[in-house]
Amino acid sequence: MPTLDDLVENFELLDDWEDRYRYVIELGKELEPLDPADHSDATKVEGCVSQVWLRADLDEARDVLVFRGDSDSHLVRGLVAILLALYSGRTRAEILEIDAQGALARLGLTEHLTPQRSNGLASMVRYVQAYARGERPVHGRLH
């Protein structure tokens, strides 16, 4: 999974937003598939036009949350991949300190997504932050 800096660099190499959208879709295709059992009400993100599912596992050895996700939309699946690059593998405190809006602005996403996609992305950010605050159950353990 690329880092935010990798994503920014790759976005800068692409000349137009059509190419950037294709890149976002490719990021989504590289996501590890989410188990069909995780496509449930317990992992569904409310507030998204598309279907979005996110789950977190605790890597106890490193005390970090590891996120996985999926969507029924190719573009949104790519947005999930970007959020995973931003949040996955971080401690709860680190997740809560991340300025998601600033990070997404570095990619230029905030001004190039439809209002519905922007609202859905904001819902995903709030969902991840709820995991970090302990408001959502963290699933299984990674060792």
- Residue ranges covered by each domain of the chain: 4-137
* Nearest-angstrom CA–CA distance, 52 and 39: 8
CATH fold of the domain at 4-137: Sufe protein. Chain: A (3.90.1010)
pTM, two decimal places: 0.92
* Nearest-angstrom CA–CA distance, 62 and 64: 5
Q: Which residues of the chain have pLDDT under 50?
A: 143
Which of 27, 34, 45, 48 is the catalytic position?
Answer: 48
- Specify the pLDDT at position 142: 52
Share of the chain above pLDDT 90, in %: 74
| 87 Cβ contact list (under 8 Å, min separation 6) | 65, 67, 95, 98, 128
> Which of 89, 91, 81 has the alpha carbon at shortest distance from 33?
81
- Specify the pLDDT at position 140: 59
pLDDT digits (tens, 9 = 90+) for 127-137: 999 999 999 88
24 is annotated as an active-site residue: no
**Residue 80 in contact with residue 120, Cβ under 8 Å?**
no
